[in-house]
């Protein structure tokens, strides 16, 4: 078992020391944070504890990251241009993906912390891993693979491609560990059934799921499908390995030797008490020898969770534990595709469509018995508007054109996607009293 500290006191001292390194590095190497410090007449030495961080520096989010990576190539969050050797992208469903630069020391930290998480998941030397996270410029496949390099495991980096057929790979390599998006892992069981293979007889011992929110019930369902232990891993493009389940399944262990995770009230942005759900705010923690390619402080990752415990877990690990994070930014994952309500809103309120539509909408997600997901977007025409033939299909095509993962899943017949024009009284959510809700997830998972 690899622990970076053993007591709460050691944790507090480690975080304090590494936070000081982070603040100094950000000021000296990130033009974004230097401007922030200078505008508030602060120096790194003026912040001496995690508690002061939120009081003295503002929260930043993906909009700040995207705004400061303009097309002219000036990336104000990049902090090690001479040491950058890898560029990672998020999925970029809005057409402007987040771009993260990585240095040699970033890669070493990735490998170290992924290895800690995988060991926590019960993966060990000699295991054969079928890795079904997407590979390419998107980070998930790259990150999932990084931790295996020094573990002595055999990795088959299949990704999400239908070729070669997964049943053939499974028969040839006999993996005992599966890695992938929750929805892909579940659908694979259905595909294998269709090919005459019984998932419970494949010898799978561990399934690590991540990349999208999953409930305890969902993980139990997958566990029963494969007769395997299902564990959760939590990583992000911006920070790499953030946390993972252990075999006790009592919360996600946060890699708080590498990231400072704080939970804040979504309205006040003030830290909440343990046990209360709020926004996850993450800060990179670093050693003096590290040269991060992208440094982020007080960054809202777009997820929410609660702190379960700061005490040593029954597994013996001392890391702080949080609940399984869920999306907090008006988005839902369907078959691995992120469906962001803001994407639909931007389409139906643009100059081409605002003359015909009111701008009200809702997104309904459901699952069918055959394993296909149903995605329905309801939009409201203006009273008296003359709607051209095929208009709903035009909106659907517009959404697919800026969301490649959605288009890919629709083309692969894994999502049944449609747009429907509805009247005011046909809305399920957005016309109810109170703050409008746009997403209704009917999946019983």
Domains of the chain, by residue range, sit at 1-329, 333-441
Instruction: Look at residue 430 and tell me whether its pLDDT is greater than 60.
Output: no
State which H helix or E strand residue 119 sits in. Answer: helix 104-120
Q: What is the pLDDT of residue 226?
A: 96
Q: What is the pLDDT of residue 163?
A: 67
Instruction: Look at residue 299 and tell me whether its pLDDT is greater than 90.
Output: yes
Gap between the Cα atoms of 20 and 22, Å rounded: 5
* pLDDT tier at 407, thresholds 50, 70, 90: very high
- Name the percent of the chain lying above pLDDT 90: 56
3-state secondary structure the chain: CCCCCCCHHHHHHHHHHHHHHHHHHHHHHCHHHHHHHHHCCCCHHHCCCHHHHHHHCCCECHHHHHHCCCCCCCCCCECCCCCEEEEEECCCCCCCCCEEEEEHHHHHHHHHHHHHHHHHCCCCCCCEEEECCCCCCEHHHHHHHHCCCCCCCEEEECCCCCCCCHHHHHHHHCCCEEEEEHHHHHHHHHHHHHCCCCHHHCCCCEEEEECCCCCHHHHHHHHHHHCCEEEEEEEECCCEEEEECCCCCCCEEECCCCEEEEEECCCCCCECCCCCCEEEEEEECCCCCCCCCECCCCEEEEEEECEEECCCCCCCCCCCEECCCEECCCEEEECCEEEEHHHHHHHHCCCCCCCCEEEEEEEEEEECCCCCEEEEEEEEECCCCCCCCCHHHHHHHHHHHHCHHHHHHHHCCCEEEEEEECCHHHCCCCCCCCCCCCEEECCCC
Average pLDDT for 95-111: 86
Q: What is the pLDDT of residue 242?
A: 95
Domains 1-329 and 333-441 in one fold? no
Q: Say which range, 70-74, 194-198, 204-208, has the weakest mean pLDDT.
A: 70-74
* pLDDT tier at 265, thresholds 50, 70, 90: very high
- Name the percent of the chain lying above pLDDT 70: 94
Pairing verdict, β 240-244 and 229-236 = antiparallel
Answer whether 0.85 is exceeded by the pTM: no
Contact 371, 187 (CB under 8 A): yes
**Which value, in Å, is the radius of gyration of the alpha carbons in the chain?**
23
Q: What is the pLDDT of residue 91?
A: 59
Q: Say which range, 8-12, 324-328, 358-362, 363-367, has the weakest mean pLDDT.
A: 324-328
- Name the nearest CA neighbour of 112 among 282, 232, 286, 315: 286
Instruction: Provide CATH code, domain 333-441.
Output: 3.30.300.30
Gap between the Cα atoms of 50 and 26, Å rounded: 15
CATH architecture assignment, domain 1-329: 3-Layer(aba) Sandwich (3.40)
Instruction: Look at residue 328 and tell me whether its pLDDT is greater than 80.
Output: no
Q: Say which range, 42-51, 208-217, 347-356, has the weakest mean pLDDT.
A: 208-217
């Amino acid at each position: 078992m690899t622990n970076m500290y053993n007591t709460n006191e050691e944790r507090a001292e480690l975080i304090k020391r590494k936070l000081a390194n982070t603040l100094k590095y950000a000021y000296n190497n990130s033009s974004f944070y230097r401007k922030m410090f200078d505008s508030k007449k602060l120096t790194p030495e003026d912040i001496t504890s995690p508690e002061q961080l939120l009081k003295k520096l503002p929260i930043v989010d993906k909009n700040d990251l995207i705004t400061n990576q303009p097309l002219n190539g000036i990336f104000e969050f990049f902090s090690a241009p001479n040491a950058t050797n890898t560029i990672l992208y998020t999925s970029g469903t809005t057409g402007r993906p987040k771009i993260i630069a990585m240095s040699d020391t970033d890669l070493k930290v990735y490998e170290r912390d992924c290895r800690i998480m995988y060991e926590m998941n019960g993966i060990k030397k000699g295991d054969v891993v079928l890795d079904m996270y997407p590979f390419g410029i998107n980070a998930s496949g790259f990150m999932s693979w990084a931790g295996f390099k020094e573990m002595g495991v055999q990795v088959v980096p299949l990704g999400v491609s239908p070729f070669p057929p997964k049943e053939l790979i499974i028969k040839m390599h006999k993996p005992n560990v599966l890695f992938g998006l929750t929805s892909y892992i579940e659908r694979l069981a259905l595909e294998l059934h269709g090919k005459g293979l019984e998932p419970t007889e494949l010898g799978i011992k561990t399934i690590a799921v991540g990349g999208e929110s999953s409930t305890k019930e969902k993980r139990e369902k997958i566990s029963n499908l494969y007769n395997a232990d299902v564990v959760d891993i939590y990583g992000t493009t911006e920070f790499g390995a953030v946390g993972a389940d252990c075999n006790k399944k009592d919360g996600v262990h946060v890699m708080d030797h590498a990231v400072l995770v704080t939970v804040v009230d979504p309205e006040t942005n003030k830290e909440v008490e343990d046990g209360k759900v709020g926004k996850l705010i993450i800060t990179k923690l670093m050693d003096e020898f590290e040269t991060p390619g992208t440094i982020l402080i007080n960054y809202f990752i777009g997820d929410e969770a609660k702190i379960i415990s700061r005490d040593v877990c029954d597994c013996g690990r001392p890391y702080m534990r949080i609940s399984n994070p869920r999306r907090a930014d008006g988005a839902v994952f369907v078959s691995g595709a992120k469906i962001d309500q803001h994407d639909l809103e931007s389409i139906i309120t643009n100059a081409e469509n605002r003359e015909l539509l009111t701008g009200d909408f809702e997104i309904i997600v459901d699952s069918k018995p055959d394993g296909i997901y149903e995605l329905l977007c309801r939009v409201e025409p203006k009273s008296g508007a003359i709607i051209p033939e095929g208009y709903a299909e035009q909106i659907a095509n517009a959404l697919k054109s800026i969301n490649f993962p959605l288009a890919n899943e629709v083309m692969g017949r894994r999502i049944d996607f449609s747009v429907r024009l509805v009247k005011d009284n046909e809305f399920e959510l957005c016309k109810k009293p109170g703050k409008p809700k746009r997403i209704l997830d009917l999946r019983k998972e």
